[in-house]
Structure 1
């Protein structure tokens, strides 16, 4: 029933859901491809066992005794709002909510989100998801500053001013998923993707707003091949009624090898095609349909007019409770011995997960390090950078940074507690009263790198040294496991160079179905 049912739909991208998938695949003696997400459930043999752990299937709500359940309490605490089952046809409809109230030392903040999510199976081979959400928000000051600068909410679309100091925004998402056999899956939708096994992705992440896509996944035991075609909309401060519809289009290919049941390596290629200029709009070349990984990189190189980057992923399950993972992304490289040259544009990730260590059921730990050199993801043309909807397609900090992440999540029946610490160092462009001696530090991927004065003086962190630390502690109760309705309380502490430290405390009634990244 409910969010648990759709066979050709995917696991959510939430960190909690990814932990449970990792715990299952690491402890099972089978072949699993876990890198290109969202993972289609039918590609994981025994996916129903993962669902049972996520949804605590068969466990009663801790709020009231089972014998006291009336229709109202069942709908609130243990069942879907609307559920239909007729043969192979399954349908669930549930609310999506986020009612949050918080305050810092001087101000009060609030978020008011309402929506619906619908999931269904039309047969064993055909599933669908659709959802819509509308929000009015009065966010923290640093988020409000971000909204003013970007004209978008992190991962949630364009903004409209609401009651002078607030913001209004809305969005929809969904897909149709068809698997003619166990080897093939086809998806058409408006959503997000994630390539990797960690908290961040340096290749393709769920940081930006939803976008139209078509994805094919081909799986034959040890080999999985994914093709993804996308359309990314531009959002610029100078947009007008014509320019706002400008788009760039992406072609992504990913080839994953299972060297053993516990070791996998993936090859990644991304091309952002220049499909809009001063004379034409949305002129998509036929070459975008080429499904062969590496072909365009070999043919055109990394400095072609279309923005091309390549990468490698790796994951090793040392044992049932320990998993190592990493990534390497390459945007360009200078062959001569010039380590500071701005053409040396690359980054890497290294991470470790402990999945229910010390035999503590439902305890998950993650430690991760990320670093990306200046100018990675940027391009000579501002329209060709590696972004969507005015946000990076990979890491929310863009480039020219070093980052350390620690995450701890513990679930006990319906209760949970999570601690997340993110510490980053990057070279900023400017702060009041200071001048940087070149056009850009390589941190802002939306700036063209063609205006750099010096080619050989760039190292990670160059520019104005900036440190940012985010500590978030959250605890709560999952009221309804079927629709992921949670009651939470939390605290967010943030330090940022040359600005006052902030402490934010909040309570919320929310539906946890997606990742929202405010740790920047």
Structure 2
């Protein structure tokens, strides 16, 4: 059976460029041509993953200057090229470990990736890979309480801290004209120019979705209909149930320097044992505002709104920001009463390419802030989360975070250092202080006197130095080596952990192992 499964994977998987394919959502890969992206005023950089036809000029420009030869030969399990059909099948392989003198954690991924273009309007991508991971004690506490692998979904087995699970992603992309694209699949999306997103990130599991986008003039409008699964904390923390989500996102490149964008989303549950609600047709209209619809149908759904901007302040420097709003009352804000339902967050940051006139030196700084209880709702099946994890920032709510990144790219090697400092509060006794977005926000909650960092204060500092060596640009396959220091201060004391990071990775997705 296992042999049949593996052979089946080999027969249906790969990776080539076509007009309608989406590039993989991986920060290391994006960093290789990100400076060209941000120099082009016609590209909507906050909508990821990127549709190839939207950034074709950037990729073509990058490929003309990138003459690097592969250290390891490209492996094509299948490679067919004809007038109306291109089909490529390539392997996926990653293996590595994080370790020190006291602890040893490892990961392996193996599988295949298919990419096929049919004519000029259709692209199909399918990725299957099997995973085996071991985790720290802190991560295992989360897994044991939720039966969820962080940034993924459920697992198949666990034997002596060897968690195995299968990942299956893919999509069909269709562009009926140069203005429209439709994508049906199971994958992740990201909205924002920052390292973090307070609107939609790749923190949670892969979800089924239908995405439509239209790009006319300087405007790109995207709508995403998603099917989510989450725990019902009112019944059982380990019981996954359906819920639904719609996102509207409008990006406008006002001029060569300024981009402005608007965001709105709604989450609703599937009903209960007495009533199955399903996908609410009131939210199918692609050009409506959710809040009036919510009021008109008397729904208890969770609606969030926000906006963002990106401004080029110098030739190679950009500032950006996001704002997210759940609920608020202006009178309560003026009163400075700490009302629990004043729920909002924001981030802002700076990206600079060729910093200090040093070619290929990139620096980024970012600040993130959220109030307690943002993203939460009356039950976990209306919160802005999926598979027991936030769909925006991995810390959930009730936190501040400062990030600094420096990266130097050569054609073969990427040197990167990160510093992430965060403060957040967790539940104290039986009081819900608003950090865990999956807890009901109307139970065991203080109505007034709420403030960011309330509860048991945690202060964390992560420093990381990483070197990535490109072995094959077509797959793409890297060797990575790094050192990570983790410092945590709580009311129980201080702890420090230093880990060596080493491994080989096929960079299809981000490896979200921080937080």
Q: Structure 1 length normalisation: TM-score? A: 0.89
The question of 1:374 aligning with 2:376 is answered no
**Structure 2 vs 1, CA of residues 507 and 282 (structure 1 numbering), >3 Å: closer, same or farther?**
farther
CA distance in 1, matches of 2:386, 2:119: 34
Match in the other structure for 2:509:
514
Match in the other structure for 1:233:
229
The question of 1:35 aligning with 2:46 is answered yes
Match in the other structure for 1:73:
none
Alignment of 1:73-152 (within 5 A): 76-78=72-74, 80-152=76-148
CA distance in 1, matches of 2:144, 2:443: 26
The question of 1:480 aligning with 2:475 is answered no
Q: Deviations over 1:368-414 (max 9, x none)?
A: 11000000000012211100111101000000000011112222121
Deviation at 1:129, TM superposition (A): 1.0
What is the aligned counterpart of 1:297 among 269, 281, 291?
291
**Structure 2 vs 1, CA of residues 318 and 293 (structure 1 numbering), >3 Å: closer, same or farther?**
farther
**How many residues get paired?**
494
CA distance in 1, matches of 2:230, 2:397: 20
Alignment of 1:356-367 (within 5 A): 356-367=354-365
Deviation at 1:88, TM superposition (A): 3.7
Is residue 33–residue 59 contact of structure 2 (8 Å, CA) maintained in 1? no
Deviation at 1:9, TM superposition (A): 1.1
What is the aligned counterpart of 2:69 among 49, 60, 63?
60
The question of 1:318 aligning with 2:302 is answered no
Deviation at 1:283, TM superposition (A): 2.0
List runs of 5+ in structure 2 lacking aligned partners: 1-13
Deviation at 1:7, TM superposition (A): 1.6
User: Which stretch shifts more, 469-478 or 249-258?
Assistant: 469-478
Is residue 207–residue 227 contact of structure 2 (8 Å, CA) maintained in 1? yes
Secondary structure, counterpart of 2:326 in structure 1: strand
Deviation at 1:110, TM superposition (A): 1.5
Alignment of 1:14-33 (within 5 A): 14-28=26-40, 30-33=41-44
Alignment of 1:245-260 (within 5 A): 246-260=241-255
CA distance in 2, matches of 1:471, 1:293: 44
Alpha-carbon RMSD: 2.3
Q: Deviations over 1:495-519 (max 9, x none)?
A: 2223531111132111111112222
User: Which stretch shifts more, 355-364 or 395-404?
Assistant: 355-364
Is residue 32–residue 409 contact of structure 2 (8 Å, CA) maintained in 1? no
CA distance in 2, matches of 1:194, 1:367: 19
Is residue 101–residue 111 contact of structure 1 (8 Å, CA) maintained in 2? yes
CA distance in 2, matches of 1:501, 1:240: 31
Deviation at 1:52, TM superposition (A): 1.8
What is the aligned counterpart of 2:161 among 149, 165, 168?
165
CA distance in 2, matches of 1:458, 1:124: 55
Q: Deviations over 1:177-227 (max 9, x none)?
A: 111111100000001111101111000111111000001100102111111
**Structure 2 vs 1, CA of residues 333 and 360 (structure 1 numbering), >3 Å: closer, same or farther?**
same
CA distance in 1, matches of 2:103, 2:277: 44
**Structure 2 vs 1, CA of residues 158 and 226 (structure 1 numbering), >3 Å: closer, same or farther?**
same
